[in-house]
Every structure is written in structure tokens, then in C-alpha cells.
Amino acid sequence: MPRAVIQGIGHAVPEGRLTNADLERMVDTNDEWIRQRTGIVERRISGPGETTSMLATAAAKEALQNSGVAASELELVICGTVTGDMSFPSVSCLVQDAIGASHAGAYDVGAACAGFIYSLASATAMIESGTMRKVLVIGADTLTKVVDFTDRSTCVLFGDGGGAVVLAAEENTDRGVIKTVLLSDGSGAKHIFVEAGGTRHPMHDPASQGYRSTIFMAGAEVYRFAVKAMGDACCRVLDLAGMDASQVDLFVPHQANLRIITSAAQRLNLPDEKVFLNVQNYGNTSGGSIPLGLYEAVQSGRLKKGMVVMTVGFGAGLVWGANLIRW
């Protein structure tokens, strides 16, 4: 069976920065509360006209350059996102055109903050089954476009960003995606959602007035779920691979909240030096979070060829999952 091996990685974040000090001027909050409860210090925020597909395209171009793969060689573009430029077409189709991937199919995966994990799983299955040999996988979101900047309980949490990897089929190697776990519980849909703009409350329908087109989140419920889900998904993916946490060289979790990451790392007995963190710089970038983390881990020399990296994420759905990869 061919293995799905990561050939190159790219990233993109907007120039705009939003610090805790900026937020202090916008809502009744303070730097100390935000740092203590979330670990976030600043986030990147897209400006007017800056869209998810722009970040996704920039990340894709860098990933292609770093991988030595030409856009014309790609057979598929998958983008994990819940903040498409439009309801349709997909972000991945806009990227396909922008990079000139003239022989590729394209679709989006709607798994919120687990979007990259789900997308990587889809691409891996395509490659391992022999259906495709070169696939571009992106995770990108601009959640600040759907944040209510008068709601202190959500506006401090989110930022914009994206990352991308090029996967290619390789034979006779132990590198590549080892195992993946994907899980969901739709009964938790009520804990985090954007209710207006879909088919339940269409934007143009006067009856939709009063419904929010910004994020609602029951923070405490999502927090409790996340702490359990992160640990459970990691244990399960390790079990599937017949490995234990001590064999993981680097843990790159979804960067939503420092306390959630710390509790998952403690459950797995992972020392600090194996836990990658950049939540302080970006906040929760949803589908962008994990590939952005992987990118910075590579750039800083913490993630090298042959190392075992474990990713884990959770988000609106509710969905959660984990990938185990030999880099």
C-alpha cells in the first residue's frame, strides 16, 4: 500500500494584528483575564476584502514551492474550512484556479477546528487506496469575519490563518500518515454555531431577522467537551497504531486555549518540550490552527524528517479527531 507522505508545507496569516490591549478598548475585558483563561496575547485579523481563499492560496503556493511539486501535477485540492468566501462555490475551487491546478478535483471539508485533520484523512485515504498520487490539503479560516466584536466571551478567542501541505504517494517507506481517528457528536451542535445565513434562517428572508450571523458559543460546555475529546482521540489513535505516547516526538494540538492543551498533554504524560504552542500569537484560527502549528514547528527546527508527530483537534459539530504522522 502506498503511504501518504508530506512533501512540503506552507502557511499564511494576515498582516493585521489584534492585541489584548486593543480588545480592552473594545469590550469589558483585560489582558490578565485573557492570558489566564486562554493563553492568548494577540491574533491576526484579516482586513476588508481579505478572504479565506486568499490565505488558502498563499499557503498552497508556499507548500508547492517547498515540496517541489508543480500545481499541474496535483490530482485533488481539499480545503478544511467553515468560512468560505461565499456559501458556494468552495474555497478549494477558488484555490485550484488561483494556483493553476488544471488537472485537479476540488472540494471543501466542513469540520470547523478539526477541518485539517478531516481533510488530511480524506487525502490519505485517496492515496492509500491508489486512487490518487498527489493531493494538496489546506486548512484555513477567517473566523473573525463571523465574530461579534461586542461579545467579550467570544471575540477574544479567535484569529485568522491557514496552512497547507502537499501529500504524495510513496512506496517502501515508513514515513507518512500512520493512523487517523475521526469522531463526531451532532447532539452538541447547540453548543457552538452561526445560525443565520444557512438554509434554516436564510439571509434574504425577513423572518431571519433577529437570528445571529455571528458565532454563538457555550464556552463552558465546549471547554468540558474539548478536554475529554482531545485526550480520548489521542489515546485512540495511539491504540490504533499500537504505539504509546512516549513514542510521540512532537504534539501539535489545535490551538484554542492553553488550559485545554495543558490538560491533554498532562493526560498523555507529555513533557513541555514535546508540546507545540503558538496560541499566544494567533488565538484560535480554526482549520488553520494545526497546519500553522506544523509549519512553525518545521521552521523552528522542532519537527524534522522521520519524527512522529501527533495532531489533535475539536470544534463545532461537535467534531474531533487526531492524526499520527511520521514526518
Contacting positions for ligand ACO (CB under 6 A): 29, 33-34, 37-38, 112-113, 152-153, 156, 192, 219-220, 222-223, 226, 256-257, 284, 286, 315-316
Residue whose CB is less far from ligand ACO, 109 or 192: 192
Residue whose CB is less far from ligand ACO, 226 or 268: 226
Report the distance separating Cα 226 and Cα 284, nearest Å. 13
Report the distance separating Cα 197 and Cα 11, nearest Å. 29
Minimum Å distance from CB 284 to ligand ACO?
6
Residue whose CB is less far from ligand ACO, 122 or 154: 154
Report the distance separating Cα 241 and Cα 244, nearest Å. 9
Q: Please, are residues 133 and 127 in contact by the beta-carbon 8 Å criterion?
A: yes
Give residue number: closest CB to ligand ACO.
315
Choose, from 20, 254, 257, 278, the residue flagged as catalytic. Answer: 254
Choose, from 257, 281, 284, 323, the residue flagged as catalytic. Answer: 284
**Is 103 tagged catalytic?**
no
**Is 234 tagged catalytic?**
no
Minimum Å distance from CB 267 to ligand ACO?
17
- For the purposes of burial, counting CB atoms within 10 Å of the CB of 228, is it exposed (0-12), middle (13-18) or buried (19 or more)? middle
Choose, from 113, 155, 191, 257, the residue flagged as catalytic. Answer: 113
Minimum Å distance from CB 153 to ligand ACO?
4
Q: Please, are residues 37 and 136 in contact by the beta-carbon 8 Å criterion?
A: no
Q: Minimal CA–CA distance to 54: which of 6, 91, 88, 20?
A: 91
**Is 284 tagged catalytic?**
yes
Minimum Å distance from CB 38 to ligand ACO?
5
Rounded to the nearest 10 degrees, the angle between the axes of helix 258-267 and helix 31-38 is: 20
Minimum Å distance from CB 252 to ligand ACO?
16
Strands in 134-142's sheet, in edge-to-edge order, are 3-12, 160-170, 134-142, 76-80, 105-109
Cis peptide upstream of residue 318 (ω within 30 degrees of 0): yes
- Please report which helix (H) or strand (E) contains residue 321, including its range: strand 319-326
Question: Active-site residue numbers?
Answer: 113, 254, 284
